[in-house]
Structure 1
Amino acid sequence: MKLNVLLVRFLVWRMKYISNNNFTLILSGIVGLVAGLAAVTLKESVHYIQAVLNKYIYTSGFDFLYLFYPLAGIVLTMVVAKYVLKEKLGHGITQILFVISKRSSIVKRSMMYSRMLTSAITVGFGGSVGLEAPIVVTGSAIGSNLAQLTHLNYKKRTLLIACGASGAISAIFNSPIAGVIFAIEVILTDVTINKFIPILLSSVTGSLVSLALLGDDLLFSFKLKDPFLAEHVHYYIFLGIACGIVSVHFTRLTYVIERLIKKVTNDWSRAVVGGIGVALIVLTFPPIYGEGYATIKQLLNGNDDIIFNNSLIYEGTDKTLVIIMLLFAILVVKPVASALTIGSGGSGGIFAPSLFMGGIAGYLFAKTVNFVLPITISTSNFTLVAMCGVMSGVLHAPLTAIFLIAEITGGYELFVPLMLVSAISFITISYFEKHSLYTKSLIEKGDLIQHDKDRQVLSLMKVNKIIESDLLTIKYDAKLEDMIKLIKKSKRNIFPVLNYDGGLEGIITLDDIREKMFDEEARKKIIVKEVMQLPPAEVHPDDSMQTVMNKFEVTQAWNLPVIDEGQYIGFLSKSRIFNAYRNKLINQDKE
């Protein structure tokens, strides 16, 4: 109680002495700080779990113990999510986008820690997913809840969600520019200078926290060794097309596998089936174990023997050909492992898998070119550029991909090929898939509307909030004379006609009875049912406002009844909807 009193006093003081814009800037710095701390905590927690598990493998002498770790991690994550946190996991960034679109940017308080806990277990035990999406969810939840605590409106809550996402990405990769662009490209749909500055502050703060606590111990980093050669530009063009195709493969196969695994309705069975599936894939292709950054780093350094570690596949006489075939096989099955990990109950994101797929694709491309043609192209450069290309395609975030790879390589020498491959990959996947993995399911369900202000505002309106229930009703077998009494009391010109079970039989307007109501003999003889008319359409309380407006447009009516399971609830009027729409529009445009 004392805390609430102190909070109220602080907010009153704040309103007197600190402007809304300045207060938002202060909060954005706080969100970036906390998101940065959360990112560092998650990364260190995962590394600690991995170190403990690897130590146990070393002391036990059982090299293939790691095959059982993903299964244990998925089952443990499912137990924690279902029985402790009581949450459904899935794709975290998709959930954040849904909250912004349909929940007024109000993120549950538990999401400030739930994704950190569950993803630490899943990834620490070798689940084939990444940490980036969970930490973005954590940062976004921190931003939303801080905004709720300080009683900020929808616009500011959404802005602080973006600040949290920006700070999280910036901290986990030490890439402040990529953090800003990710927040703008993926989380927000429209940006003004008032939004850009807080996101920038949050990103810088998150990066500083990471540098102060981790130094050079980043999630992924690499120093360029080879220069970009303009005479290889045509190879980069082909690489861009290849990255687009890999992105399509990743996106579509992920959807297919997640749908299949979710057909196993029992949570325990689904977790076991998914865990066993991941274990079998890891048994055949060990590089798929975990996030995969260690494998990519080895490939960047030219050590492709890493893909044979703990593998059942041996190098053979023609090592290069075996490596090419093995890398291609990894590209094919990696989406299966990631989708099984998430779909069966694990916690993680597709950020790291898309970078891993890109790294494998780029190294495979360069290795194949060097093997087939009498030329040598840089395997490290093509690996890095392809990471950008696949990430651009899968996430539909080309600018984020470009600046992320540029920042984690410590320079902009590859900027031209990064831009070229990112653009070509994005164009290629856009031909087959118009939406990213994050947004596709939401857009198909109508839960996310992009680049359409009218539909965005309508999506925020709920039928049950604007139902008019003050209309006076009359029974279908009443006399017209009884209705005259209602007309004297009512301020409306429409009257619902009900049966004795509460169902709607029809409606009567003053125009329907205007001539008869002044005929005293007719009033005593005519029954209401004889003069009522059927409504041109009915509305259900769960209908979207877009559906409701379509019904109004088709029927050209000004009023439509709301019916729920045969029971009359009330009426919707165009005038009430227009008024609510206007208020929503005004509130949305407030800064």
Structure 2
Amino acid sequence: MAYRKQIVGKLAVASLLIGYLSALLALALKHLTEHYEDILFALTETNRFYLLLFPVLGLSTIYFLRTYLFKGKANKGIREIYDSIRTGRNMPAYKVPSHFVNGFLTVIFGGSTGIEVSTVVASAAIGSVAQQKQSIFRLYKTELISAGVAAGVAALFNSPAAGLLFALEVIAKKPSKLFFLTTLLAVAVAFGMTWLLQETPLFALDISIWHWHAVPWFLVLGVLAALHSVYLTKSVLFLKSTFAKIPTQTLRVLLGAGLLSAALLLLPQLYGDGYHAVTALLFPEKPIAWTPTLALATVAVIVLKPLLTSVTLAAGGDGGVFAPSLFLGAFLGFGLATVLNTFLDAHVIPLNFMVIGMAAVLSASIHAPFTALFLVCGLTNDYTLFFPILTICLVSKFVAKWIFPFTVYSIPQTIR
């Protein structure tokens, strides 16, 4: 019994330290990326030549860093965490700066993804390194990795519940009793840091009401979100396998940068994580009127975003499907609500559809409805839509899983 208490005590201390380091990493990466992405994107608005330069600069820098500094090994996203837990191999310490730097460079130079997965894997690496420090910790590798992941997500999205649920739904899946000890302590530290630093929600909204007559259309949105999440997943898998057949990484970088530049010249909204475009939709300076040009731009954004995210990752960029899912959900919800109001006189609230769409596409993309629910509620700092979001997240997840049972994280190697 005394030995058991000693183990629990050591795990508790380790979890607190992991939570602190992971939250610090997540907040530093978040603010650095936001700051420099804003600066570089502003440059592209004054001189569109930069849209040709930045993707080449970003992907080339990542390639050289990966080749000469980070041991020549490509980052594989959350699959690295799964491989570490399943095979027993440790995640090396260099994965922390590798994902931090490469995720930062990918987004600020226009790569059409986000820093979320970079944060998750770097945080997991902190947990993995911690479990190597004492032999007894090796028995609790999953718990310590989950602690790092939970703290990173909690700090990044200002939502302790989202951090805990992501670690539960996506990473651990079959948690032990000590899982809740390690993750809760790590998340508590992360929440304390966000409170101390007065972190604000990314999209602070004031949603006053939702209507029952919109529920059937919410369900339609859930199905559309599921279909589009499968499109996103299959785009990533297809383009990664296609780029893998290109004989040299130099050609992959040049081709990927060329495709990125061409798409960004056409639709600058696709630059980086796209949160600037989502913000413009959620907080328009004046009412948005439906026009053929707007309709074409919305459809183009929804169709091209998964392809551009896939090109970014296939060409060597670092990131995942978190930010693209939120981006796609916002535009999908906006497009559906605007069509309903314009052509069917449905009197639905576009803002509600955008928020529900963000959660629905994320839920379907990572098969984690409760993570998506609390993450989006944390992002918007509003729980008015809690029950509609919960319902549609479940619908979108199960429809997506019925169409294609895997995510980009869980796809078996034999299918890739």
Superposition TM-score, scaled by structure 2 size: 0.94
Match in the other structure for 2:66:
81
More contact order relative to length (CA 8 Å, sep ≥ 6): 2
Q: CA offset at residue 265 of structure 1?
A: 2.2
Shift of 1:231: 2.0
Q: Which moved more, 1:197-206 or 1:146-155?
A: 146-155
Change (3 A) 1:322 1:196: same
Deviation at 1:380, TM superposition (A): 0.9
SS of alignment partner, residue 382 of structure 2:
coil
Q: Residues 30, 83 of structure 1: CA spacing in aligned structure 2 closer, same or farther, 3 A cutoff?
A: same
- Alpha carbons of 1:54 and 1:331: their partners in 2 closer, same or farther (altered >3 Å)? closer
Q: CA deviation at 1:82?
A: 1.3
Structure 2 gap ranges (5+)? none
Q: What runs of 5+ residues in structure 1 fail to find an aligned partner?
A: 1-14, 307-317, 446-591
Summarize deviations over 1:208-252 as a string: whole Å, max 9, x none.
223323522x5x232133412122111111111111111111111
> Which residue number in structure 2 is paired with residue 432 of structure 1?
403
Q: Which residue identity does 2:213 align to in structure 1?
A: E
**1:33 partnered with 2:15:** no
Instruction: Note the C-alpha offset of 1:128.
Output: 0.6
SS of 1:251 mapped into structure 2 = helix
Residue identity matched to 2:70: L
Say which SS state the counterpart of residue 152 (structure 1) adopts. Answer: helix
Q: Which residue of 2 aligns with 1:289?
A: 271
Q: How far apart in 2 are the matches of 1:146 and 1:65?
A: 41
Note if 1:111 corresponds to 2:95: yes
Deviation at 1:320, TM superposition (A): 2.5
- Residue 117 of structure 2 aligns to a residue whose secondary structure is helix
Per the TM alignment, residue 66 of structure 1 is displaced from its structure 2 partner at its CA by 3.0
2:199 corresponds in structure 1 to 215
Q: Which has the larger radius of gyration?
A: 1
What letter is aligned with 1:145?
V
Identity %: 27
Residue type of the partner of 1:69?
Answer: F
Determine if contact 1:91/1:438 at 8 Å carries over to the other structure: no
> Match of 2:394?
423
Q: What is the letter of the counterpart of residue 189 of structure 2? A: T
**Contact preservation (8 Å) 1:226, 1:381:** no
Give the counterpart of 1:144 among 105, 115, 128: 128
What's the RMSD between the two structures over aligned residues? Answer: 2.2
Q: Are 2:381 and 1:410 equivalent residues in the alignment?
A: yes
Q: Is the 8 A contact 1:171 1:208 kept in 2?
A: no
Q: TM-score, normalised by structure 1?
A: 0.67
Q: Is the 8 A contact 2:153 2:163 kept in 1?
A: yes
The structure where strand makes up a greater share of residues is 1
Amino acid in the other structure paired with 2:347: T
User: Which residue of the other structure, out of 338, 352, 358, is the alignment partner of 2:309?
Assistant: 338
Deviation at 1:38, TM superposition (A): 0.4
* Aligned-pair CA distance for 1:264: 1.3
From 240, 246, 249, the equivalent of 1:264 is 246
The whole-number CA distance in structure 2 between the counterparts of 1:51 and 1:249 is 29
Q: Which residue of 2 aligns with 1:301?
A: 283
The answer to whether residue 334 in structure 2 is matched with residue 347 in structure 1 is: no
Change (3 A) 1:44 1:374: closer
User: Which residue of 2 is the match for residue 172 of structure 1?
Assistant: 156
State the Cα distance separating 1:207 from its structure 2 match.
Answer: 2.4
Measured against aligned partners, the alpha-carbon deviations of 1:118-161 in whole angstroms (never above 9, x if no partner) come to 11111111111110101111110001111101223444111110
2:321 is aligned with what amino acid?
Answer: I
Give the whole-Å Cα distance in 2 for the aligned partners of 1:231 and 1:319: 22
17 and 252 in structure 1: CA distance in 2 versus 1, 3 angstrom threshold: closer
Match of 1:23 among 10, 13, 33: 10
1:221, 1:56 → 2: CA distance? 24
1:178-577 correspondence to structure 2 within 5 Å: 178-213=162-197, 215-216=199-200, 218=201, 220-302=202-284, 319-442=290-413, 444=415
| Aligned equivalents of 1:196, 1:321: Cα separation in 2 | 52
Aligned residues: 415
Match of 1:126 among 110, 120, 129: 110
Q: How much has 1:428 moved relative to structure 2?
A: 1.2
Distance 1:99 1:371 in 2: 51
Q: Counterpart of 1:44 in structure 2: which amino acid?
A: H
